[in-house]
Structure 1
């Protein structure tokens, strides 16, 4: 009869000690150790034996590009047509289109203006078989014309009112012209204009002097601003103009 109480007491003692023993067993887990023989090849594949955490500095903010670098970068990505080797920028007119006095035999009276559209020259007839010659820009293909008129009006820094036909024509190309532009350096008519007869044609200056010597206009005769100012001072309303 005494064995049963002793067995129960022993069981209670074991039951009480078992949880504590389990907690003690898993309270501090042993570290996982990998043999150097196994770990070294993997560490070397990662770039070396130093596997300490690396600290990377925050990338520096991008520095603003200088205008020169921006232009260079833009040219490397997409080179504008104007600067391609096969289409160089034209910044100056050819020397033959600069004003000069030349020999010019004609039956026209001194003071007459003769415009040779094929060769891109305007002649102001002088006495003695000479003429003052200027380079001009003329009508592009499809806009050439010839005839005889008189200067009916003169304007300094004229305003520009594009004809409706021109506005519609340019709009079809995606170019939108203003209904009116006041005179000034940006105005396509330039510094001076001399109106021919009752037509829409004029002898005028330009804001694109590099086009002198080319067929680029809608029929008007364009000159460099300094040249049209010089011609403007030499002719009067009523001057005869022959376009050939």
Structure 2
């Protein structure tokens, strides 16, 4: 099977080159119900194939993806490796020709194709697979990344708690859910504001790798934890974003 990265003018050296970015504190908003321990273990456990098991992702391990989706032991909460071969190849991080027409430095989320693009110079873009909001919970428009947060606290908004009363322990009054591997915002969060107001939508990490490419969240845009760490390091606060 052809490596999907090589067929798109993929540059591994460029992919690993990190840009500058600052961090700021923030504890607002939320996107999804917290993970159960059993679900997290099932999502991140090693995959053992049998000969008659149908292939869903890459047909073989790739040393390059072994590196970028490998464990991150130096994180505040060490991240496990992602079994990337269980993900459809088009949703793995790769550099591609820019299809957006936006200026370099912009973020574009294509909700139909389930891709996030970080536009680069020279007609190129970094592309990440994403999970998006299910019907009735989506958001679109132009905005900015107001601030960024490493290992954020998750505070579900009142509307979400009204729908899911079991989330009351994580309300703002109760201090939210503290950072960690079970936190729905994952390892990083980028907070989206429009016209100076918090939209309550986020770009954030998730350990639920099987949700990438699907419409499953409560409106936010979720990335693999290793991918949101990469994006976080590449973009500064006030980065323009288009969700369409």
Please report the RMSD computed on the Cα atoms of aligned residues, expressed in angstroms. Answer: 1.8
TM-score by length of 2: 0.60
Residue 212 (structure 1) shift: 0.8
Counterpart for residue 206 of structure 2: 206
Residue 176 (structure 1) shift: 4.1
Residue 207 (structure 1) shift: 2.8
Partners of 2:139 and 2:148 in 1: CA distance: 21
Counterpart for residue 227 of structure 1: 227
Partners of 1:105 and 1:224 in 2: CA distance: 22
Q: 1:57-108: per-residue Cα shift (whole Å, max 9, x none)?
A: xxxxxxxxxxxxxxxxxxxxxxxxxxxxxxxx99732111000111124431
Partners of 1:186 and 1:145 in 2: CA distance: 25
Residue 167 (structure 1) shift: 1.2
Conserved? CA contact 2:134–2:218, under 8 Å: yes
Q: 1:149-173: per-residue Cα shift (whole Å, max 9, x none)?
A: 10101000000011111111123xx
Q: 1:118-139: per-residue Cα shift (whole Å, max 9, x none)?
A: 1100000011211100000100
Counterpart for residue 178 of structure 1: 169
Could you list the runs of 5+ residues in structure 1 that have no partner in the other structure?
1-88
Conserved? CA contact 2:156–2:167, under 8 Å: no
Match of 1:166 among 151, 160, 166: 160
Tell me: CA distance 1:185–1:100, structure 2 relative to 1, closer, same or farther (3 Å). Answer: same
Partners of 1:113 and 1:94 in 2: CA distance: 22
| More helix by percentage | 1
TM-score by length of 1: 0.60
Larger radius of gyration: 1
1:87-126 alignment to 2 at 5 Å? 92-126=86-120
Conserved? CA contact 1:162–1:178, under 8 Å: no
Could you list the runs of 5+ residues in structure 2 that have no partner in the other structure?
1-55, 58-82, 171-175
Count of matched residue pairs:
153
